[in-house]
Amino acid sequence: AVAEVALRDDQYTLDHMRAFGMFNYLHLDSWYQDNVYYIDQYGRVMNVSVTLDTALQKPREVFRLPTDLAACDNRLCASIYFSSSTWVALSDGTGRLYLIKSGKRGNSASEKWEIVYNEELGNPFTIVHSVSFVKSDKHSVAVLLLRVEKDEMDTKGSGYHIVLEWVTITESSKEGDRRYEIFKRRVLQGKSLPHYAAIEPSGDGLMILSYKPFKFMQDEEEKIEENADEKVTNEKKDPLYYWQQTEDDLTITVPIPEDTVKDDIKVHFSPDNICVTLKDQPALMEGKLYSSVDHESCTWIIGENKSLEISLIKKSEGPRWPELIVGDTRGELIMDPAQRSAIAESLMHLTSEVMNSNPDKEKPPCNAQELEECDAFLEDSASLCRFDGDTLKITHVINLGSNQYLFSVVVDPKEMPCFCLRHDVDALLWQPRSDQPENMWEHIATFNALGYVQASKQDKKFMACAPNHSYAALCECLRRVFIYRQPAPLPTVLYNRKEGRQVGQVAKQLVATLEASDPILGFQATNERLFVLTTKTLFLIKVNTEN
């Protein structure tokens, strides 16, 4: 039977349920057509591949986990990710990571799984994603690990937080001995389970789609340095000068030291620039003025309260200056109340006390009363972030608003997994392209009305689609599988009964009911078949795509 791990009493949060209770125990090897794996109760990795159209080979053992799974009390489900056509990342659920060179899989002659690296990496985890890449002539495998850990600081929430660990393991050749060792370990933390998390094929970045934001956890030393920098920038400095304006002139006041005399001050006026220096110090004010002044009429004096007062005459009367010196934020504009009320009055026609003051107008603004319940979206809507692997900073953020995440699927194993989002009633499939910063997410397929249909399936457990987008499918916790084909041309003439128009295409929906009383534990779709796993049975549904 499949090595199913039930949730323990302390795994009671929604994140535990999503991460481990809804875990997909069937692993699809996207590098080889129709090749699936599961792990059984003896810790054996079992492979099932399709030979003839409907004939499944007997499950065959390709690898056995060296640890006794039952001996570990707080273990999670064992997980597999196929990093490349010859590399596999494997976790036994006890906190140990195995890196395996498998040879060409899917055929017993060339397939031989050998452990190249194994290491205890702390608390138990599951593998979310993994990639294999070569950089500066060295082979590396990057693995993304997921943990749900207790958070002592969190007294108001669930008491847990999510940890994503991004581990890069690199080949190091010492005296002709080729070994693999950890090159980098980076940890991200967030307060909600990511819907989607994947490493870029080049190993340079990371994309995460989640409700609550994730951020990199730094070492203590880095934190102290960063805090020191923040303190410097956060201390609010007093303005270096204050300025006022009327329609035709500007007055600048610069505080100066008590003992300053007239000879210490140098003020240089030109039509577009100003420069103020004290004794031999660097310039107090210097730069291009926002607009031209009549430089011959400009004056300056030392005021009574030990401040330098400069008077500038505007070349063109009337227009207000938004800033004194272009790009200089060290000064502060002081407005008198009369000026404030004049500005407010000039903007009055743009605002209204009433929400929709003229509802019978030809083009009324959006009316909030017309929105239905399904149009309202959660305040804390999900966002999609890309993190840079070197700086560990976010480079791109997209707020997904009400575009609900549905599922992810590997269309091309060399690229990142795609994710499917609900857009109105449809479901759109997006392919991340990390090598195109201008167009990082490409829309590659649409499933008409799938967003609407899946919302009614209250018992759905897994969703998937064929890599060639020919159909989408979802399964319930027990027995039922729903298949939604893409629209196809009709061989016969069909008319819409209500409107009398001829229908050119029809999208068929199919329902399969499995002869099983055990809950569904795994679900995977290939271009022609659906694989459905229960505790003791693997079902194969041929979704005929030739027609």
Query: What is the strand order of the sheet 426-432 is part of?
Result: 405-409, 418-423, 426-432, 441-447
pLDDT of residue 22: 92
pLDDT in tens, 414-471: 999 999 999 988 999 999 998 888 889 999 999 999 988 888 888 899 999 999 999 9
Token couple for 206:
């990371």
In angstroms, the CA 119 to CA 123 distance is 12
Inter-CA distances, 165 with 13, 29, 67, 190, 489, Å: 21, 23, 22, 12, 48
pLDDT of residue 345: 84
Averaged pLDDT for residues 23-36: 92
pLDDT in tens, 261-304: 888 888 999 999 999 998 878 888 889 998 899 989 899 998 88
Write a three-state SS string for 435-455. CCHHHCEEEEEEECCHHHHHH
In angstroms, the CA 497 to CA 453 distance is 22
pLDDT in tens, 490-516: 888 888 888 888 888 888 899 999 998
Which of these ranges, 116-125, 373-382, 522-531, has the smallest mean pLDDT? 373-382
pLDDT in tens, 139-150: 999 999 999 998
What is the pTM for the complete model shown?
0.71
Averaged pLDDT for residues 251-257: 88
- Ordered by where they begin, the domains of the chain are 1-220+380-401 (no CATH), 241-329 (2.60.40.790), 411-546 (no CATH)
| Residue 168 banded pLDDT, cuts 50, 70, 90 | very high
pLDDT of residue 504: 84
pLDDT in tens, 69-123: 777 778 899 999 999 999 999 999 999 999 999 988 877 677 889 999 999 999 9
CA distance between the termini of the chain: 36
pLDDT of residue 507: 87
Residue 172 phi/psi, 5-degree rounding, is: -130, 120
pLDDT of residue 379: 44
Q: Which amino acid, 94?
A: T
> Strands, E, within 156-264: which ranges?
160-174, 177-190, 196-199, 205-210, 214-217, 241-245, 249-255
- Sole residue written with tokens 């700086």: 391
Residue 260 has pLDDT above 90, yes or no: no
Q: Which amino acid, 56?
A: L
pLDDT of residue 377: 47
pLDDT in tens, 191-235: 999 999 999 999 999 999 999 889 998 765 555 555 665 555 555
| Residue 188 banded pLDDT, cuts 50, 70, 90 | very high
Contacts of 105 (CB under 8 A, 6+ apart): 29, 31, 32, 35, 47, 62, 82, 85, 86, 111
